[in-house]
Chains A and B, each alone.
Chain A
Amino acid sequence: MQAIKNDVEIKGAFKQYGSNIVLNGINLGVKQGELLTLLGPSGCGKTTTLNLIAGFLEADEGDVYIKGKKVTKVPPFKRDLGMVFQTYSLFPHMTVYENLSFGLKLRKVAKPEQKKKIDRALELVKMSGLENRYPRELSGGQRQRVAISRALVVEPELLLLDEPLSNLDAKLRHELRAEIKRLQKEIGVTTIFVTHDQEEALSISDRVVVMNAGKIEQISSPTSIYNHPDTEFVFQFIGKSNSFEGKITSVDSRKISVQMENEITHVDVGNIMGTDRACKVGDEVKLYIRPEKICIAAAAENVSGLSLDLHKASITQLNYLGTSWEVAVSLLGKPLQILTPDFDSSWQAGSEVYVGWSPSDIMLIKK
C-alpha cells in the first residue's frame, strides 16, 4: 500500500474554539506530486486544516508531518511552503518583481540567480514583461497569476491554495483553473487546494477530500466522489439530488429491491452508503438519484435499453437551460427533478411520461 510516500501527513488533529469543535479528529495523507482538494461548506474545517499545514494555527491535539518531518511546532516562516490566498495578498507597496524576489532574498539567493528564477516563474504564468507594475495596476486575474508565481518561485516543498479563484469572475475562473492544473502537472509540486466550489474541486483534483463539521466524509477520486459517494452528506453536497423513501422487499447477491408505495425499484448492492451497510428485508431505506441519471420518455418502449424500473409520472414544470431541459415531474405524488438533453416538443405541464433509471445509478442508505 505504501508505494507512494506521503508528502503531508496529519494525524489525529483536533481543534476547538470555546465550545465550537472545528476539527474533530482529522487524519489525512497527501501523496507526493498529487493535487488534493479540500472541499466542503463554510465552517467545515477545510481552511483550518490548511492553516494547520501552513503553520498559522496549532491544533489542540494531533501532529503535522511534512516530508516525513514533524512540523507541529514549526512557525510558518520556517516551513518552506508556497501559498496563494483568495485575496491575492500581493504586497501593494512592491512591484511584481519585488514581490517575487521577497522570498528569494530571504533564502539568500544571489541577485543574478534571482533574476533567472523570477523570469522563469513569470513566464510560467504568462506574465513576462509586467515586472515593474504595481499590484493595483493589474487586473484580478493577473494579480492571481503573479501570486501563483510568487508562491512557486521559491520552489516550495508544498503549494497551498486557499480558494484562489473565488474572487474572479466565471470566465477567468475557468481559465485559471485549467492553468493551475497544467502548471501543477508540469512542475509536479504537491498541492493542496481549498475550495467550496464542487465543480472546481471535481475538475482540478487528483483526489478530493469532502469535509463536513470538522470531519472528513470521504477521500476519493473526483469520479467516485460524484458517482459513488460514501455518505448521504457527500451525495447531497456534490451536485443535485432527488430522494425517496422505501422499504427493502428482497436482497440477492447483485440487487436489492425496494418498495416505494406500490412501485418497486432495484439498487445494485455496491451502491449502499453510510456506515451500516448490512441490509435485510424489511429495512427502511432512503434512495438517492441524480437528476441527469433519470431517463424520461413519452412512452415506455422509448426508454432505451432500460428494461427495469419504469414509472409513470406527470410533468409539473419545464425549464429550458440551453444545453438541456430541467423537467420537474410528480412521481407517486412526490416531486422529482430531471435533467435531460432529449425533449419531446409535445410535452407540457400535465403531460404523462415514463421515467426510469438503472440500478447502478441509484444510491441507498439505511434510515
Chain B
Amino acid sequence: MKPNVFKRHLKDSWKSLRRNGWMSVAAVSAVTVTLLLVGIFMALLMNVSRISTQVENDVRVRVYVDRGTKKAEETKLEKQIKALPNVKTVKYRSAKTELDTIVGSYGSQWKMFSGDKNPLNNVFLVDTKDPKATIKVAKQAQKLKHVSEASYGGSTAKKLFKTVDTIQRWGIGFTILLLFVAVFLISNTIRITILSRADEIGVMRLVGATNSYIRWPFLLEGAWTGLLGSLIPMLVVDIGYGLVYANAGLTTAANGYSLFPTMPFLFWLDVALAAIGIIIGALGSVVSMRRFLKI
C-alpha cells in the first residue's frame, strides 16, 4: 500500500470514530471495562505468582548431623550432600549457632541450654536448584551416614507446593478466560457499530473499492477504539498499583518477600493493556465485517 493511502486511511478512521459519536463511546466503554478487569487481574496474578515463587524458594532441606560426629566426618558428609543431584548450596550451622538463633528469637531463658546442655544438632541447610526437588534431596540425604534426620517441612511444604501450583494454574486459566471474554465483548460491540454501517460498506463496494481498501479504515478504527479503551484502565492500574505498592511494600519487605517494583512493571503492564486493546479491537473489526465483503 502506498504511504499516502495509508495516511488517508489513518485520517479517515480517526474522523469516522469521531463522527460515529455515541456508537464509538459505547465501543470504547466496553473495551475500558474489560481491560480494567484484565489489568487489575494481571497485576494481581503476576504478584501472587511472584510471592508464591519467593515462598517456594524459601523451602529448604535441613540435614541434622548425628551428635558426636567428628569434624572430618562432617566435612565428608558436606561433600556427599553437595554431590547430590539438584543441590545448589550447602550451609553449615553449628548447634551453638542454632541455639543462638533461638535465644535471639524466643528470649534469654533458652540460654540455660548453652554449652554441653545444648540439645540441638549441627545442621546443614541445603538449598535446591528447583524447589520441587526439595523432597527428593531430603530423602537422599536421609540415607547418608551420620545423618540423624533430613527434614523439608514435611506435609507443610507439600501443601505449599500444591497451593502454588494451583494458584498458578487457575490464574493462567482465569486470565485466558478473561481475555476470551474481552475478545467476545469487544468484537460484539464493534460488530454492532459495523452492522449500523452495512449500507456504508455496500456503497463503498459499489464505487469500486476493493475489499482490502474497505477493510483498512474499519481495522484502524477498531485499533483506535482498543487504544482509547485502554487509557483509563492504564491510569487506574498505575495509580492503584502505586498505592498498593507504597502501602503493602513495607509489610511484605519485612517478611522478606516483595511485590514487583512499580518500574518497569507498570510500563510493561501498560504496554500489554494497550497491545491487547489494539489487537482485539482491530481483529474484532475485521472478523465482524467479513460477512459484508462478499462480492
Q: Do A and B come from the same complex?
A: no
